[in-house]
Amino acid sequence: MLISLFRLSLFLIIVMVFAWGVSYLASNDNKIIGSTIIEISGFEYSISPTQLLLFLGLMILAVWIFLKIASLFLAVLRFINGDETAVSRYFSRNRERKGYKALSEGMMALASGEGSAALIKAKKAEKYLRKPSLTNLLAAQAAEIAGESEHAEEIYKELILDPTTRFVGVRGIMKKRLSEGDTDTALKLAEKAFSLKPKHEETQDVLINLQTLASDWRGARKTLKAKMKYGNLTQDVHKRRDAVLALSEAAEITETDKKTDTQVMAIEANRMSPDLVPAAVLAAREHLADSKKKNAIKVIKKAWESQPHPDLAAVYSEIFEEESQEEREKGFKLLAKMNSKHIETKTMMAEMYLQAEDFPSARRSLGDSYETSPNVRTLTIMAAIEKGEGADDNVIRKWLTKALAAPRGPQWVCENCSTIHAVWRPTCFNCNALDTLAWMDAPEVKEELTLGNEKLPFVLDVLNSEGSEADQINFQVEENSAELENIEVDEAKSKS
Ligand SMILES: [Zn+2]
């Protein structure tokens, strides 16, 4: 601030001194004082200071013109002596100057968002410079800003032809395809861009996204590894995302029935990220299929420690399917120990006892969870316990009604865009982000409440009908993660 103020005052002072000097000289023109006497071949000339200034200026101009002509003359001489490009070089120096001027002006226009103006300057620069690798870069950007996307694409195609600008051209067309939703072509271009410049982080991200979108898990894992290698990803994040991709790969192999591959991938995914619930579920299932119960139990317990989840409980239940109730109870108690205070642990134990029709134990296991975490599951379990203990229909209906208005409890929610997913998947189906699904309570939406109230009369009718309640409750208990909405659908189907 101070410096610019100083500069401004300095400039003003110089202008004032100059103006004063010129007016002083002019006012002294008619006086002899200060005039200069020049003697040329015996004649004396007396000239005023203003005339002197003018004379000096003309001299400088004459010297400049002389030098120009001299350099042109030298170029012509060189040309005559056999240097064929001498004259063209002389003129091209001029062209170059004009070209770079246009180029820099074009860049200024681009920086201030004037696409059309930048495009004109780019054309002018190209005319003088004839360096398409340089001017096309400007022209492509200018065409994009000016909204001439077809024109921009043409320029990008030209950029691809030149090895030094190939990457920019490929990237430009890739972005255009992406904006048009042509992900197949965009994927091929992203692969090309990645091979040209593997360190480019944006290209790495785009490529991983497109690869996961195309279910090319193996390719995505390779890109992910490159991303870590070039320092754009920490080791921890790489490990976790690699596990997610390995799991996706394993899940897909299951569909094509290459059993051993699935096992290897699932167990690898689980090893890399033990808290990744779907990986633990798949790995445990693979161990079970191999009759390795101990390994399956170990995997589930490890996952339960950090992330209790109904899917884990479901697999765990399968492990003890054929065992006696006593063994089952023992097994479940061991799992519960891993995370005894967690609401999911309490719910799991209550459901286990419900299945064994041990209602007092179920009530004890659930504790006050229906108050601390009132959601569809805890409240429906309460209804089932009441039913099992022979409570009045009104009491059961009260619990079920509460359950309907209650929040659904944790779900797979995208941490990026809050979209709810019914089942886990490696990428969010809404925003396509990789590994953003977390098991948590969905952000509250006011609309949901009114929706619940609108549904209420219909559901109350269902509950009032004879014999339906018991079915509903059994369904709830058996399907660990079933929700009341499913019951509604089932009931509606059976009614129609
Ligand atoms: Zn999302």
State the average pLDDT for the chain.
Answer: 83
What tokens were used for 114? 């004037």
From ligand 1's centre to the CA of 430, what distance in Å?
A: 5
All residues with CB under 5 Å from ion ligand 1:
414, 416-417, 419, 428, 430-431
Question: What is residue 89's predicted lDDT score, i.e. its pLDDT?
Answer: 77
From ligand 1's centre to the CA of 434, what distance in Å?
A: 9
From ligand 1's centre to the CA of 483, what distance in Å?
A: 23
CA 29 to chain centre: 75
Question: What is residue 419's predicted lDDT score, i.e. its pLDDT?
Answer: 93
pLDDT band at 297 (very low <50, low <70, confident <90, very high): very high
Integer Cα distance of 82 and 93 in angstroms: 20
What is residue 86's three-state secondary structure? helix
Please state the pTM of the whole predicted model: 0.64
Question: What is residue 33's predicted lDDT score, i.e. its pLDDT?
Answer: 54
> CA triplet 175, 179, 185: central angle to 5 degrees?
65
> CA triplet 181, 184, 187: central angle to 5 degrees?
100
From ligand 1's centre to the CA of 435, what distance in Å?
A: 9
The DSSP output letter for 229 is H
32-39: long-range contacts (C-beta < 8 A, 24 or more apart)? none
From ligand 1's centre to the CA of 411, what distance in Å?
A: 14
Bigger pLDDT: 66 vs 47: 66
Bigger pLDDT: 490 vs 289: 289
From ligand 1's centre to the CA of 421, what distance in Å?
A: 9
Question: What is residue 347's predicted lDDT score, i.e. its pLDDT?
Answer: 94
pLDDT band at 94 (very low <50, low <70, confident <90, very high): confident
From ligand 1's centre to the CA of 415, what distance in Å?
A: 7
From ligand 1's centre to the CA of 432, what distance in Å?
A: 6
269: exposed, middle or buried (Cβ count in 10 Å: 0-12, 13-18, 19+): buried
Mean pLDDT of 311-322: 92
From ligand 1's centre to the CA of 476, what distance in Å?
A: 29
Question: What is residue 321's predicted lDDT score, i.e. its pLDDT?
Answer: 87
Which residue in 336, 284, 287, 339 sits closest to 311, CA to CA?
A: 284
Integer Cα distance of 371 and 489 in angstroms: 27
